[in-house]
């Protein structure tokens, strides 16, 4: 029974209901004097409250995806396979380079409607995996959308551009697939010819849940920026035919995930050359969910200032990247900061915008923006990026990266 499965939700809810019913049924027997009756009442109250808390925890975790599996919750390190594994979603993941991409269970994919169903060469495929960071030591759950062309013979020697789609906090990859409908949108745009064939990897912004790491390398703590700029590209290139050049890589996200996408492009343009942000913040602030992200003293202040994107554009060399930002004139609190950010953009950086007349900080708004954002990003990324070396007859096109060297 998976940690995010409907079966667990129904089971905990049923047990809680049973506890309530039994409490009502047997309470008159416990309404007596004496230590045994008092202990009985305390025990019944305790069990009922624990059952209720467990149900709430399961529902909240399923909604926001703090933990994707029991192993992740209990802190058990994943095993590193040296062979092909079958994913819970029916796909295959070819782990290489020490197993940096590993097949995972469904991770909630069974709750998502509209995913590819049929031959991968015709409709594509979504794989459920976990990504291991060799430097950050993070283990992050992910969904990977592979377009139909990835499985077609005429593309078997070509690499594909990559969009790293990042959820908001405290949401997880389920939000990207179920509510924002990222893989469904990619398939629809590709089928209509409005987006080139692209691999989309869906991840969450935090690598140390429940802490909000904001894609920052915390001194003495989680190295979230390292995960996104070094570990994630290395892992994907080890398991999928994706481009090595930065021109093939873009980041996209909503809310704090959009903030992360912009941070990655402006701070690490040799990794990500484009970013699309829906309802983003333009600087990283600390709060109860983040803790101390930058350290103390003057050095900590400098580190925090380096994550203020408007300050960077005004005081540091402007990177050669392309960005798209989305907001709403009414109902979205980031409209003013969005316009200030756009006002600070200058050559060689380019910008685009999606400004709705009215919207809110919610999926109902972001679903109106995700299509134009992905279509725009598809025009920024290069394809075909490069080709793999000749594969032997009968070999599968879905394997470890074969091109020598990394263009980073």
Determine contact, residues 350/368, Cβ cutoff 8 Å.
no
How far does CA 309 lie from the centroid of its chain?
A: 22
Residue 65: name the closest of 232, 178, 183 by CA.
178
State phi, psi for 163 to the nearest 5 degrees: -110, 120
Distance CA 123, CA 120 (A): 5
Distance CA 73, CA 246 (A): 34
Banded pLDDT at 28 (limits 50, 70, 90): confident
pLDDT over 90 at 148, yes or no: yes
> What does the mean pLDDT of the chain come to?
85
User: Is 0.85 surpassed by the pTM of this model?
Assistant: no
Determine contact, residues 177/204, Cβ cutoff 8 Å.
no
- 345-357 pLDDT, tens digit per residue, is 999 999 999 999 9
Banded pLDDT at 35 (limits 50, 70, 90): confident
Distance CA 51, CA 173 (A): 27
Tokens of residue 243, six digits = 């481009």
How far does CA 97 lie from the centroid of its chain?
A: 22
Which pLDDT belongs to residue 389? Answer: 52
Banded pLDDT at 323 (limits 50, 70, 90): very high
Can you give the C-alpha Rg of the chain in angstroms? Answer: 23
pLDDT over 80 at 6, yes or no: no
Distance CA 199, CA 129 (A): 14
Residue 351 neighbours by CB under 8 Å, 6+ apart: 322, 323, 324, 325, 342, 345
Mean pLDDT of 245-270: 96
Q: Among 155-164, 241-250, 319-328, 392-401, which stretch is predicted with the lowest mean pLDDT?
A: 392-401
Residue 41 neighbours by CB under 8 Å, 6+ apart: 27, 30, 31
Banded pLDDT at 45 (limits 50, 70, 90): confident
Which pLDDT belongs to residue 78? Answer: 43
Which class for 134: exposed (0-12), middle (13-18), buried (19 or more C-beta within 10 A)?
middle
Banded pLDDT at 203 (limits 50, 70, 90): very high
| CATH (residue range 83-380) | 3.40.50.1820
Which pLDDT belongs to residue 72? Answer: 55
First CA to last CA distance, the chain:
41
- 228-243 pLDDT, tens digit per residue, is 999 999 999 999 999 9
Which pLDDT belongs to residue 393? Answer: 36
Banded pLDDT at 23 (limits 50, 70, 90): confident
Distance CA 279, CA 298 (A): 30
Determine contact, residues 162/248, Cβ cutoff 8 Å.
yes
More confident residue, 398 or 193: 193
More confident residue, 215 or 57: 215
Which class for 392: exposed (0-12), middle (13-18), buried (19 or more C-beta within 10 A)?
exposed
Residue 405 neighbours by CB under 8 Å, 6+ apart: 244
More confident residue, 51 or 217: 217
Determine contact, residues 228/215, Cβ cutoff 8 Å.
yes
């Amino acid at each position: 029974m998976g940690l995010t499965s409907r079966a667990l939700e129904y089971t905990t809810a049923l047990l809680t209901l049973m506890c309530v019913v039994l409490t009502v049924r047997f309470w008159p027997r416990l309404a007596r004097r004496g230590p045994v009756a008092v202990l009985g009442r305390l025990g019944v109250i305790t069990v009922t409250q624990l059952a209720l808390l467990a149900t709430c925890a399961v529902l909240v975790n399923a909604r926001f995806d703090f933990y994707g599996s029991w192993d992740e919750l209990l802190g058990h390190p994943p095993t590193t396979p040296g062979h092909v594994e079958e994913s819970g979603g029916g796909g295959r993941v070819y782990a290489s380079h020490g197993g940096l991409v590993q097949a995972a269970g469904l991770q909630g994919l069974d709750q998502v409607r509209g995913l590819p169903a049929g031959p991968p060469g015709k409709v594509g495929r979504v794989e459920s995996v976990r990504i291991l960071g060799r430097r950050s030591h993070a283990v992050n759950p992910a969904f990977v959308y592979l377009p139909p062309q990835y499985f077609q013979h005429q593309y078997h020697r070509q690499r594909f551009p990559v969009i790293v789609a990042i959820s908001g906090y405290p949401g997880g990859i389920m939000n990207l697939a179920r509510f924002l409908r990222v893989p469904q949108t990619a398939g629809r745009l590709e089928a209509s010819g409005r987006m080139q064939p692209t691999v989309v990897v869906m991840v969450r912004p935090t690598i140390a849940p429940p802490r909000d790491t904001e894609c920052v390398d915390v001194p003495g703590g989680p190295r979230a920026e390292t995960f996104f700029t070094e570990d994630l590209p290395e892992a994907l290139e080890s398991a999928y035919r994706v481009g090595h050049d930065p021109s093939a890589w873009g980041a996209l996200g909503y809310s704090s995930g959009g903030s992360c996408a912009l941070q990655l492009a402006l701070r690490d343009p040799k990794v990500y050359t484009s970013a699309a942000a829906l309802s983003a913040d333009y600087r990283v602030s600390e709060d109860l969910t983040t803790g101390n992200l930058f350290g103390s003293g003057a050095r900590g202040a400098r580190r925090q200032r380096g994550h203020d994107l408007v300050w960077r554009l005004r005081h540091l060399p402007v990177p050669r990247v392309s960005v798209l930002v989305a907001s709403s004139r009414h109902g979205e609190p980031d409209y003013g900061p969005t316009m200030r950010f756009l006002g600070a953009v200058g050559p060689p950086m380019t910008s685009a915008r999606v400004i709705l007349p009215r919207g809110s900080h919610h999926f109902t708004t972001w679903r109106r923006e995700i299509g134009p954002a992905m279509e725009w990003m598809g025009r920024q990324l290069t394809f075909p990026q490069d080709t793999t070396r000749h594969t032997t007859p009968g070999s599968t096109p879905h394997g470890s990266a074969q091109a020598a060297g990394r263009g980073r």
